[in-house]
Structure 1
């Protein structure tokens, strides 16, 4: 007989969430694992003694955490999702008939709390990972990823240009001292001013959003000429194959033992990775030193290569594996370097002594070695060596000894292994954060608020690792117990079989005697 279900809504006479949420449910296990009662003391300073009661700090952080665990992109979606999930209601401590906080309360509370509260929560979860034996601390892999800011390119505004910009350019162009560096500076300044006054840069905001005209003009928009009126901390950045957009950079340090995030921080998107390494390294060291863990090795890509970054590693007695930047040359063909006299010597014995220090347009300090025009005037190799110039010039970075030591280290077999370990460690972590833990875009404004979002994404990631690590350990122990029971059963079975065979032989012998 066909059944037909009739639904009649009625009041519950007896209902408990704890009876409806299974014991192995993720949020039920997380509720037992995560103790956030310390938040009451930490956040007390942000509240007064009068007025209406705010959202419970523990409830707030649990709701925000759900947003990252479930990859929910807005506070409104968090509240809507939690209202329909019994396990999430049980996790935050709400009953099915209780009204959840209004979604705007989450945004206001996030702005109310300082970064220190979010950092304390990150360190608490990291401590649990360390206590479980998931963090070795010895080797850290570092990398960065672009995170889209909560701002649109169509809301860019033009920066104010100094009225004497053109006069300053003309003044530099009219210099008669023959200094090539001044000419370079004036040329760069003139290009910047011309670009700033260009019609494409000025008309960008008035073009139809997303049009081909605007896409073409976006190539002429930069952080030098424009800024975001929506988020002043966001910076224009671009990667090959992707459009220009307003971004932040998330700098991440990952332990290679079990891929636990040991530090994450927001930085401006127009900064180079090499400029961020010192700060990232210092914060990672601070997080691990609280648990008596020391860093011995750091793995990173070539974007982190600079004299300042390599010096920071040596100052902390850390062995780095970072490919040198593209302009580095370990040696010069046809020239040998004399360290004692600080000069180069060509194959014909002509010396190129150190002349002066210069600074490139990218901010690198270079040592200039130059020969005399008298020595090179009648050289038979002149056309091949210096062409139409009167002398030979070699530029080396002032930090070349640091690059040389790194170059020597990178030639070892261990360096090849470290390269594979780095790509297999930090890159999957960044992909998980961006694609599955709501770090593709921040829904806040300002670099401090963006840092809170990145910290919460890293907390969600470490919690998932912690939960899986605990489950895996229990499963391994259970499997080992099953194997032991099977082995014991087989041993008992073999013993019984052997006893049976012996008893059978005894009976046969007794019958033969009779």
Structure 2
């Protein structure tokens, strides 16, 4: 055999259709593609977005179905940036098939994703999220009887050291230089500024005084890992019986849980109404939340309404004083009575498991814990499609046993077969599949000549 040598590459003048490279496909994306095609996803989103484009003339844009599919790939592959989405889709023939690209079509540039996202309003992204929720309801994955609410934090695409004062635009370093000069330092060094910043009394960062010029919607907040950064606050309303997220809202990070709860509940009720599972005063849904959502005003506003509260009550010393507010007293007592039942303990156990799991999948594994976009509405557009991908993962878990391609590849399956050979021997064959690895064990039993 002669040595093969790598020569200079020369483009082919003519390539037949049968010679074009093809992928055997990814079973997970093939099944997801079949589900989207059977439900008419492309026709739905094209009709939805048609009003945002020219009726006759104009440069052909990125098809809406391809745009939303690329954002879904961001969730399934755990890719945080849109430039990374472009690279990943261009690197995989399976993802090219999932995006329904022709043989000579290029993967959309990351700037096309940004341009399309800015053109399509938030309401259209919310409509796509609702469409996915309707597909879950068709398979019985939306009950609407027990709703768990919780919030997390998402690091913003803005640096804390670049904040400025809201009044005069003075930067943080400029403030330290001014304080150093006032204390007698003519030419303070960086170490001098650090020591001055550590030693000054009353040191704190308030959102009322400081803002980020890069992302005015970002707020100074403490993240889940204990760091203080500019952040946003995603909040979920989750069906505790199925794990489906029925509302995903993006709030300012400095707003408390009691302040953001009404908006999230209104969004959950609107989405549940589209699948005919909206709560009502005659048939209220259980609202399960932790003690961060507890307040007299919240309980009083939700009492005798569409939500039957089971909100943890923080421990307090002393006697509660009502100041003749009988409505608040009745709401607090009703909530306290509901917390004493075994149903409440089971609901809180589900909430701790299911709600935290969806945050872990969307933010940590899904690549949204650190956002690369700016503007709360702009971030929520992509976040809604990521959560829609999580909901589609529930359907895929029902159909294939795995909610993500990585989980599908890592599944362990085994098959046991018994074969009787022509000479009367019994052979047991054990085949184990783990991802792309296959192992087989064969055991043969010889027949007893005396039997």
Q: Same fold (TM over 0.5)?
A: yes
Residues 186-240 of structure 1, C-alpha deviations (whole Å, 9 max, x = no match)? xxxxxxxxxx9x9669779x9969x966985895111021011111111111157
Higher relative helix content: 1
The question of whether the paired residues in 1 share the 8 Å contact of 2:154 and 2:223 is answered with: no
The question of whether the paired residues in 1 share the 8 Å contact of 2:75 and 2:362 is answered with: no
Task: Note the 1:301-380 alignment, pairs <5 A.
Answer: 301-327=290-316, 331=319, 367=323
The question of whether the paired residues in 1 share the 8 Å contact of 2:176 and 2:197 is answered with: no
Task: Note the 1:435-514 alignment, pairs <5 A.
Answer: 435-472=364-401
Alpha-carbon distance between aligned partners in 2 of 1:80 and 1:445, rounded to the nearest angstrom: 21
The question of whether the paired residues in 2 share the 8 Å contact of 1:138 and 1:294 is answered with: no
What RMSD over aligned residues (CA atoms) do the two structures have, in Å?
3.5
Report the equivalent of 1:33.
35
Alpha-carbon distance between aligned partners in 2 of 1:401 and 1:207, rounded to the nearest angstrom: 61
Taking a change above 3 Å as real, the CA distance of residues 104 and 199 of structure 1, as seen in their structure-2 partners, is closer
Q: How big is the shift at 1:312?
A: 3.7
Taking a change above 3 Å as real, the CA distance of residues 63 and 5 of structure 1, as seen in their structure-2 partners, is farther
Task: Note the 1:13-92 alignment, pairs <5 A.
Answer: 13-15=16-18, 20-22=23-25, 25-34=27-36, 35-48=41-54, 49-92=56-99
Q: How big is the shift at 1:124?
A: 0.8
Report the equivalent of 1:407.
336
The question of whether the paired residues in 1 share the 8 Å contact of 2:151 and 2:233 is answered with: yes
The question of whether the paired residues in 1 share the 8 Å contact of 2:68 and 2:385 is answered with: no
The question of whether the paired residues in 1 share the 8 Å contact of 2:153 and 2:223 is answered with: no
Q: How big is the shift at 1:402?
A: 2.1
**Number of residue pairs the alignment of both structures matches:** 378
**What are structure 2's unaligned runs of at least 5 residues?**
181-187, 280-284, 403-407, 409-414, 419-451
Report the equivalent of 1:420.
349
Report the equivalent of 1:254.
238
TM-score when scaled to structure 1?
A: 0.66
Taking a change above 3 Å as real, the CA distance of residues 119 and 409 of structure 1, as seen in their structure-2 partners, is same
Q: How big is the shift at 1:401?
A: 3.4
Report the equivalent of 2:266.
282
Report the equivalent of 1:431.
360
Which secondary structure does the structure 2 equivalent of 1:319 belong to? strand
Which secondary structure does the structure 2 equivalent of 1:36 belong to? helix
Taking a change above 3 Å as real, the CA distance of residues 201 and 108 of structure 1, as seen in their structure-2 partners, is farther
The question of whether the paired residues in 2 share the 8 Å contact of 1:65 and 1:456 is answered with: yes
1:245 to 209, 223, 229: 229
TM-score when scaled to structure 2?
A: 0.74
Residues 287-338 of structure 1, C-alpha deviations (whole Å, 9 max, x = no match)? 1122221442111111111233223432424221111245586x46xxxxxx
The question of whether the paired residues in 1 share the 8 Å contact of 2:238 and 2:244 is answered with: yes
Which secondary structure does the structure 2 equivalent of 1:50 belong to? coil
Alpha-carbon distance between aligned partners in 2 of 1:207 and 1:308, rounded to the nearest angstrom: 51
Residues 368-394 of structure 1, C-alpha deviations (whole Å, 9 max, x = no match)? 9xxxxxxxxxxxxxxxxxxxxxxxxxx
Report the equivalent of 1:94.
101
Q: How big is the shift at 1:267?
A: 0.5
Residues 402-423 of structure 1, C-alpha deviations (whole Å, 9 max, x = no match)? 2232223222333222221210
Report the equivalent of 1:271.
255
Which secondary structure does the structure 1 equivalent of 2:143 belong to? coil
**Larger-Rg structure:** 1
**What are structure 1's unaligned runs of at least 5 residues?**
162-195, 333-343, 345-365, 369-395, 476-481, 487-514
